Structure formats: C-alpha cells, structure tokens
Amino acid sequence: MTMLSLALVIILHNYGLSVCQNKSRPNIVMVMSDAFDGRLSFDPGSRVVQLPYINYLRELGATFLNAYTNSPICCPSRAAMWSGQFVHLTQSWNNYKCLDPNTTTWMDILETNGYYTKMMGKLDYTSGSHSVSNRVEAWTRDVPFLLSQEGRPVSQLVGNTSTVRIMGEDWKNTDKATQWIHQTAASSHRPFALYLGLNLPHPYKTESLGPTAGGSTFRTSPYWLKKVSSELVSVPKWLPMAAMHPVDYYSTFTKNCSGNFTEEEIKNIRAFYYAMCAEADAMLGQVISALRETGLLNNTVVIFTADHGELAMEHRQFYKMSMFEGSSHVPLLIMGPGLKSGQQVNQLVSLVDLYPTVLDISGISVVGNLSGHSLLPLLSTSMFFKKQHPDWVLSEYHGCNVNASTYMLRSGRWKYITYADGQSVSPQLFDLKLDQDELHNVGVKYPDVQAYLDKLLRNIVDYPKVSALVRFYNKKTFGAWRHDLGRNYSQVIANLRWHVDWQRDVLANERAIDKWLYGTV
C-alpha cells in the first residue's frame, strides 16, 4: 500500500468515527415537510417568521444554503429522495405515476442492515393525491387550450390566539412519532431510523369548490400569525402578463392567478403561508424534544427538509410546479453527533443526495449507481472531500399546470431553464447573483453561457428524448382512460373544472383533443 493510499484510509476511518462519535451507529430521524420555502431557513428569509427549532438545527448543525428539489411537485420529488435517482430515471412523471412499489429505498437498506425502522405521516412516493382533473390537464397539456385547474388562492383565519393545532392530521402523526420515540425507540437495543412526513405548510384543499378542487386555501390562526413579522412581509414584483414567458403565462392562468389581486390579498396569503411554516416548525420541535427527553438526541442525526417550496404569489403564482426559487429551493438542515455546529454550506445539493448521505451516516456501502452523492464530505474540513460533489443540480417537471416538460440546471450564479425539445419553446437564463427576483431573462445577453449550460445539461440527460417519452406516456394514458370510460367520457370530462372556453365550444375542444391524440380532425 502506498503512503497516499494509507493516508486516505486513515482519513476515511477517522472521518467515519467522527460522525459516529466512536459509538454504535447513530440513529437517524428525518422530518420532511411539504411546500416549505428553503430560503426561510437562513437569512434574510428567516427573519420574516419565528422558526425556533429550525434555528436550533441551524445553530447546532449544518444548513445547506443551496438545496433544491429534483422535481417541484410532491410525488416525483419524494420518489427521487427515496430512490436516490433522478426523475427521468424512475419515470415518476407526475403525482399519479411515481416510484415503482418494488423499488428499494434507503429505509429498506437500513432495515436490512440492522436498523429498526418506522415511517409515519405523508409518504407519497408511489402515488399521491391527484384528482382526475389534474391528471387530465397533465395528460392533455399539449392541446392548444387553457384549463382553469385551481381555485383562486385565498387566506382563511380560524380560531383565536389560543388555537395551536390547525393541521390536525399532522399533529396526530407527530404525536404518534413522539410516542414511538418514548415507548419503542428509547428501549430498543438497535439503532433506529424514523421518518415523519408532514402536509404543512402545503395550502389546504378549498372545500367550497367541490371534489375536484386543489389546495388553494392558506389557513392559520392568530396564534401562529403572531410569529410573523408583518412589516417584513413583502409584495413580490410581477412582470406584466404580456411580458411573461409563455410557460409561466400558462401556469399563472391555470393556477387562477391571472385576475386582479390587491396588495392586502397578496400580503395576507404570504403572511398566512409563513404562519403555516411556523406551525410545521413546532412539529419538528416536538420530535426534537422527545429525542432530548429520552436521552437519544446526542446519538441521533436529525434531518429536516421538504419535497419542494411554495411560490406564495411570487411571479403571480402560488403552489409549486415551477423552477423559480420559491418553488424549487428547499430547506436542508442536518444536526448530529460529530458534526460541527453552525456550518453554512454553499455547495449546490439536491434531494437525491439524501439516499447516499443516510447510508454514509450508518456506515453502509452504496451498491449500484445513484444520481446523488453523500453530503457528509461537505461537512468535513478536508479539501479532498469537498471536490467530490458535482457543482450543479438538476430539477425536472412533467406534470400539471405547466404545458411543457421543464428542466432546470443550476450551476454557480446561473439558473438555466429549458423546455420540451429545447427548440419549440424558448429557454430562460437567470443570473441569481444580480437578479434574485428572477425577472430578467439574460439568455440573449449571454449566449455563450446559455450554450455551455445547455451542453452540460444534455450530457446529464437527453432531455428532448425524455420529453418525447413523456408525450408518448401522456397520449397513451389519456387514450386508455378515455377508452375505459366509454359512453361516460363526455359527462365525466364536462364535469371537470375546464376553462370557460371549453364549455363555450365543446365540439372545437373535442376536435383539438382528437387531432392531438390521433393526428386527425
């Protein structure tokens, strides 16, 4: 063995020991929220709302300042996290088509290697909440008509200054998780891995709109609103509708945000969203408290993250399904034995990195090819480790409320977004150092940068080929659905929340679908 090889072995050995504190393998607890804007986990975003337990993780652990989802929608994002594979590899195209149930997750590997495992709350990685209306809109997004799929975003105040538990299902699952820590994990002789999935701060379903309604209600109580610094709640800058990129225009329209909004409406939606984040933070706190009370915290790695963010009226949109920062930037904080306190990591990372990270924490070798890379080396002071992680992240989207497959490559100060085959829809390039609001597409100004990033992206994924595969899936699946409905098809599709133009000219839209589906009029 050469001296260099021996030195590397010693470094790796000592690094592994530092993570485990020379003890048995650490426990692992992951809390994954839904629709949590990652920019709220560090300054200046963290100033707008009190998040004491996220701050606790930040002070005692590491905060990843540039963490991204691999797909800005629930199921495909979680499929990437659980499998360690990019979306185009798992073909998790939307909330209806996600990860194969037989896929081996990192939790499966932990269990095989002696960990006591428990999963609670929102999982959503094989399939999730996806109405027929959303499915049809996703499948037919190439048809040239607009569909109004979502309810207009609204804020709703409930309870009083003593009302703490708004999202009852999440609190129920959090109670179960903390009970499991006290009653089961505390007495286990094996290391354990606990996953808790939250719904918050995802907006609530708007019940008044009927069974096909999406989640467009931002609901909270005065108790949580007190945690928000109202003077710091901003009103985002919007481009005029005529100046929007065509895909962003489509998203704005199908999210029912093309109408007029008062400044008060916008600020309320944003303030209520931040208050919902504070409620989610309290659930994280309950889990941390249970670990501390049982004496388990010192030998437990705690990870907090989210499947995607929330636009909260940025870019004249709410929800996710966008590559803008509010939608694609997620929180990622890791605290645990042997990890340095107060670290802020600038490296670009994404959710596929969690699979190899969890295995690295537990001392399990990765078998097979993964899209992600362990994050533990980024928490080391060794420059050797820091060069092992790619300097880019990939995110892609193929679902509803967007009328073209979308690909985002973030590298350095640049965010490159391209669509479909890369030619039929114009791409976007943003300089996030100078344009944090992402209002200025500078692709024409920097053609060499755009060309370089497009080449890099094509080396990572043949995105025109993937887009064609998605279009084939959409046509095939819609055609099968239509065939299965038989004579009921016309009635079912008429009851979906179509844009008014559909009902005004049913025949014309039916012809458009037939032309798209069969190539005939």
Residue 345 near residue 65, CB atoms below 8 Å: yes
Instruction: Look up residue 394 and give its two tokens.
Output: 């990939």
CA atoms within 13 A on the CB side of 173: 22
Beta strands across the sheet bearing 428-431: 392-397, 406-411, 414-419, 428-431
Beta strands 215-220; 154-157: pairing state: parallel
CA-nearest of 269, 89, 94, 287 to 180 is 287
The distance from CA 129 to its chain's CA centroid, rounded to whole angstroms, is: 15
CA-nearest of 380, 358, 426 to 117 is 358
Beta strands across the sheet bearing 343-350: 116-121, 192-197, 27-33, 300-306, 332-335, 62-68, 343-350
Residue 74 near residue 124, CB atoms below 8 Å: yes
Q: Single out the catalytic residue among 74, 98, 277, 400.
A: 74
Residue with tokens 């040239």: 144
Catalytic, 400? Answer: no
CB atoms inside a 10 Å sphere around CB 32: 25
Residue 300 near residue 248, CB atoms below 8 Å: no
- Which of helix, strand or coil describes residue 448? helix
CB atoms inside a 10 Å sphere around CB 148: 19
Residue 173 near residue 182, CB atoms below 8 Å: no
Region for residue 219 given its phi and psi (left: phi exceeds 0; alpha: psi -120 to 50; beta: otherwise)? beta
Residues 6+ apart with CB under 8 A from 329: 37, 38, 39, 66, 67, 68, 309
CA-nearest of 345, 357, 353, 361 to 299 is 361
Cα-based distances in Å from 104 to 47, 77, 82, 92: 39, 16, 8, 15
Q: What are the catalytic residues?
A: 74
